[in-house]
Amino acid sequence: MTGLVVVGASLAGVHAAEGLRRAGFDGPIHLVGAESHRPYDRPPLSKDFLTDEQVDENRLVLRPVAEDGALDLTWHLGTRAVALSNDHGNVELSSGETLAADGVVVATGCRPRRLPLSTFEGRDQSDVDGVVSLRTLNDARELRHRLRSADGPVVVCGAGFIGAEVAASARQLGCEVVMVEVADAPLARVLDAEAGMAVVDLHRRHGVDVRLGVGVDHGHTDGGRLTAVTLSDGTELACAVLVVGIGVIPNTEWLEGSGLTVGSGSDDGVLVDDRCRAAPSVVAVGDVARRPHRRFGGTTMRVEQWDNAVAMGGYGAKSLLAALEWRGNDGEGVVVEPFDPVPWFWSDQYDRKIQFAGIATDDPEIVQGSEGDRQFVRAYFGDEDRVLGVLAWNRPRQAIIGRQLIEAGADRATVHDRLG
């Protein structure tokens, strides 16, 4: 084999490279990453990294690459893939180099959505002093500095999990925080309105000024530095730091003309089959990949979750080797079954651990406690009363059981019996 190329040096890409080695592949592996840093873990960036000065950046380095040379990779850091061409055999880099590959892993992840240019009179938000998004280590470095030196209110635009975690971290640092959300209840895409309002109540109890049904209309600057924002309802707020957390966009532009199926809007991302394959010699994994979910009626969706990136990265590696009919030194090939784990994620905010498995539906039901309690469990049911989602609020054991119940296709009565 000429070798394999993994495009994307974050969680999914690194675990794909590790998966290739674990499967016994000993040929060349090129790992391409847009950032110059060694691959690192992102969850602490919105939490411990912001609040605890003792969190050293070296502790963020992903375990599979913590030791130099552990995976015997050829690194291409600080460079981007700009094209996939020649029947998926060549990956062109921004450096001008072209990597020939027998197979490719697409793990390019996502980038934060930005506020419209009109928000700052035609300027990009990155050109305004005091406006920050959070996705990368560099973003977190800047945000940590700004939160610790803020001489006025912090406005968080977007009450999704990143926005909510940053708001919680800012409050822990003693900042005055206003969190605005255009929806009538946050997290509507992930949870139901009542569960979203439980998050709102949590933040309000910790002193965050949460405003729903409004967004940031435009910003005010003095000498290029942000001083205030005007909301869509006309309210003007003093603002020393504006944190923009309004969702993400999959990094797929470099695949234009590649022949891969790349969607847009609500169907964004790289479409893959149930073995994570986007083409005979290409797999896509992690946040950028849109795959069918058999247990949820075959609907295709992207899963922006840490656990999914780890599992999908490792699985995608084996799936690629199987597609290439690669055989190891023992002469055995790799065989893979369809990829269909139950997605799940967690979020730590103040003294709450919020865990969710599966998907939300229009049929939610409290099975333990109530939304106003420090601990509660909420289940989401689908056709034939089968459980499709479980939200566990400070109930880690129930979160594990709930995931198992979704895997088993348990009915409503069983869920109440096991989780109630």
For each of the domains in the chain, give its residue range(s) and CATH number, in order of start: 4-111+250-323 (3.50.50.60), 114-246 (3.50.50.60), 351-419 (3.30.390.30)
Average pLDDT (222-248) is 97
Structure confidence at residue 89 (pLDDT): 87
Structure confidence at residue 419 (pLDDT): 94
Average pLDDT (212-237) is 96
β-bridge mates for residue 209, sequence order? 178
Structure confidence at residue 225 (pLDDT): 96
CA 73 – CA 5 distance, rounded (Å): 10
Structure confidence at residue 66 (pLDDT): 58
Q: Which two tokens stand for residue 244?
A: 């923009």
pLDDT of residue 97 exceeding 80, the answer is yes
pLDDT of residue 143 exceeding 90, the answer is yes
Share of the chain above pLDDT 70, in %: 99
pLDDT of residue 67 exceeding 70, the answer is no
Neighbours of 237 (CB within 10 A): 18
Give this prediction's pTM: 0.95
Average pLDDT (235-259) is 97
Structure confidence at residue 348 (pLDDT): 94
pLDDT of residue 59 exceeding 80, the answer is yes
pLDDT of residue 65 exceeding 80, the answer is no
Tell me the C-alpha to C-alpha distance, in Å, between residue 337 and each of 20, 29, 190, 297.
Answer: 17, 24, 28, 18
18 close to 64: Cβ distance less than 8 angstroms? yes
Structure confidence at residue 266 (pLDDT): 85
Average pLDDT (101-115) is 97
Average pLDDT (89-118) is 96
Provide the mean pLDDT of the chain.
94
* DSSP-assigned letter for residue 262: E
Q: Which two tokens stand for residue 136?
A: 């990368």
5 close to 105: Cβ distance less than 8 angstroms? yes
